[in-house]
Chain A
């Protein structure tokens, strides 16, 4: 009996750890889901433009203009609600957001605004032919990379 009790306690503890870990993995905060969704929308629309730029799909001025307008729309979303404290990759699972984001908020905001400026530039050029699209897409990719270089952890 005296031997068994610590064993039961231990297995109970192990069970508890298992359930909390499982709950932890599924329990991605809504703000994190929201920001990840916004990046997925960005990727989808950049994909429309990028596939044209790479020659994988035919250039279509109307589609290119629509995709660029979507990027401008996302850039205009206020980011204040998407990045609450404690949602970095050291605090929770399921995100690649580095804690450095919260240590350098002015820089992060500047980089987000740089994306907005690049997207605005792209939306002005996207309908003006494939070469114009290619030239204007470069800075958008550069703005993605600038932020990912500093603030997104590898998978």
Chain B
């Protein structure tokens, strides 16, 4: 048997074996090593993309989707506003081929194809994968979606609504247009790091936690969960998470110049009837017309029942005033 030590002995020709001293790690290294392992372990846990529990999957599997109800969810959730082609009008808004570009401080996000195409779109997904994407922001291959996809709002949606939405989705047209990659700067290219964002910013409660009547509560559900109004109308912190202490208090335009107006009752002083009418015909009380991203939003909101637009207006009147809170 020739181990390394005897080989060394033979080479240097000295014949005295080195003293066999037991190697002992200094305590500081052990502590440091354990701490590192703990930090890495915690980071691994925190940044792990979440998926639906088996119980939640079983619960979903027991539900039946209603495509007619799903169409209402589709318009309320505003899927077409970002995922239809840029400038699409009328029936073309049902072709969710993607391609619209959204600039942000982190880079440019490109909306992907989420049409029913089996490979370029999401036609090959299961219902559970669809709900996982919307509620967890996790893709079928187990990766984080960037929060430009507003799953932070959609996770508050009722599971039955998402099942209905998927049932409606089955009848949507197919586009074979390939999805384009996002154009982001380092370190935002590290998808795993989105887990930290999720850990800090995903909520399971509504921001407006006061006592609401059924109409206001319906409005809260539409504004905070499906229509994700806060994504543009609430200012963001350094990490790009919504600053819920300034809920709907207005914010800089995420894509371009100017500001997105506040929706709080001290700033948006229109009557509930005026707000509901604006969401239907696109005219302000002075009969100026909506512009920018609100054009697509109103095209969606106009598809909802009048009671829903009234509910949104009723909810907005319950939001705490922006003036009571620190300004951006």
B287 near A154 with CB under 8 A, answer no
B282 near A144 with CB under 8 A, answer yes
Residue-wise interface mask of B (269-293) relative to A, using a CB-CB cutoff of 8 A (1 in contact, 0 not): 0000100010001110011111111
Asked if A122 lies at the interface with its beta carbon under 8 angstroms from chain B, I say no
Asked if B163 lies at the interface with its beta carbon under 8 angstroms from chain A, I say no
Which A residue sits closest to B299, measured CB to CB?
A145
Residue-wise interface mask of A (130-146) relative to B, using a CB-CB cutoff of 8 A (1 in contact, 0 not): 00000001100110111
Asked if B159 lies at the interface with its beta carbon under 8 angstroms from chain A, I say no
Residues on A with beta carbons closer than 8 Å to the beta carbon of B296: 149
* Interface set of A (CB-CB < 8 Å, partner B): 43-44, 46-47, 50, 53-54, 89, 96, 137-138, 141-142, 144-146, 148-150, 152-155
Asked if B257 lies at the interface with its beta carbon under 8 angstroms from chain A, I say yes
Q: How far is the CA of A67 from the CA of B259 in the complex (A)?
A: 33
Point out the residue from B253, B281, B286, B292 that lies within 8 Å of A141, measured CB to CB.
B281
Residues on A with beta carbons closer than 8 Å to the beta carbon of B292: 148-149, 152-154
A74 to chain B, nearest CB (A): 14
- Going nearest first, the 10 A-B pairs with the smallest beta carbon separation are A148-B291, A144-B289, A154-B258, A149-B295, A47-B287, A152-B291, A145-B295, A46-B287, A43-B287, A153-B258
A44 near B260 with CB under 8 A, answer no
B283 near A141 with CB under 8 A, answer yes
For the complex with contacts A89-B257, A137-B281, A148-B289, 13 further pairs of A-B residues with Cβ separation under 8 Å are: A43-B286, A43-B288, A46-B287, A54-B277, A54-B281, A96-B291, A145-B282, A145-B295, A146-B89, A146-B295, A149-B295, A153-B257, A154-B291
Residues on B with beta carbons closer than 8 Å to the beta carbon of A96: 258, 291
B281 near A155 with CB under 8 A, answer no
B101 to chain A, nearest CB (A): 14
A153 near B256 with CB under 8 A, answer yes
Q: How far is the CA of A104 from the CA of B200 in the complex (A)?
A: 42
Residues on B with beta carbons closer than 8 Å to the beta carbon of A53: 281
B261 near A155 with CB under 8 A, answer yes
Residues on A with beta carbons closer than 8 Å to the beta carbon of B290: 145, 148
Residues on A with beta carbons closer than 8 Å to the beta carbon of B79: none
Where chain B touches its partner, the secondary structure class is loop
- Give the residue among B253, B286, B287 with the most A Cβ atoms within 10 A: B287
A13 to chain B, nearest CB (A): 27
B134 to chain A, nearest CB (A): 26
Q: How far is the CA of A54 from the CA of B291 in the complex (A)?
A: 20
Which A residue sits closest to B291, measured CB to CB?
A148
Which B residue sits closest to A42, measured CB to CB?
B287
Point out the residue from A89, A138, A145 that lies within 8 Å of B291, measured CB to CB.
A145
> Which parts of B238-267 form the interface with A (CB within 8 Å)?
253, 256-261
18 inter-chain pairs at a CB distance below 8 angstroms, sorted by A residue, are A46-B287, A50-B281, A54-B281, A137-B281, A141-B282, A144-B289, A145-B291, A148-B291, A149-B87, A149-B292, A149-B293, A150-B87, A152-B292, A153-B291, A153-B292, A154-B253, A154-B292, A155-B261
Residues on A with beta carbons closer than 8 Å to the beta carbon of B162: none
Asked if B298 lies at the interface with its beta carbon under 8 angstroms from chain A, I say yes
A50 near B283 with CB under 8 A, answer yes
Point out the residue from B89, B259, B277, B288 that lies within 8 Å of A154, measured CB to CB.
B259
Residues on B with beta carbons closer than 8 Å to the beta carbon of A153: 253, 256-258, 291-292
Residues on A with beta carbons closer than 8 Å to the beta carbon of B286: 43, 47
Which B residue sits closest to A43, measured CB to CB?
B287
A145 near B287 with CB under 8 A, answer no
Q: How far is the CA of A150 from the CA of B89 in the complex (A)?
A: 13
Point out the residue from A50, A150, A155 that lies within 8 Å of B287, measured CB to CB.
A50
A139 to chain B, nearest CB (A): 12
Residues on B with beta carbons closer than 8 Å to the beta carbon of A154: 253, 256-261, 291-292
Residues on B with beta carbons closer than 8 Å to the beta carbon of A46: 283, 287
Q: How far is the CA of A155 from the CA of B262 in the complex (A)?
A: 11
> Which parts of B3-32 form the interface with A (CB within 8 Å)?
none
B287 near A44 with CB under 8 A, answer yes
B289 near A141 with CB under 8 A, answer yes
B257 near A138 with CB under 8 A, answer no
Which B residue sits closest to A48, measured CB to CB?
B287
Q: How far is the CA of A153 from the CA of B288 in the complex (A)?
A: 14
Q: How far is the CA of A155 from the CA of B268 in the complex (A)?
A: 14
Residues on A with beta carbons closer than 8 Å to the beta carbon of B291: 96, 145, 148-149, 152-154
B282 near A155 with CB under 8 A, answer no
B236 to chain A, nearest CB (A): 16
Point out the residue from A54, A148, A155 that lies within 8 Å of B295, measured CB to CB.
A148
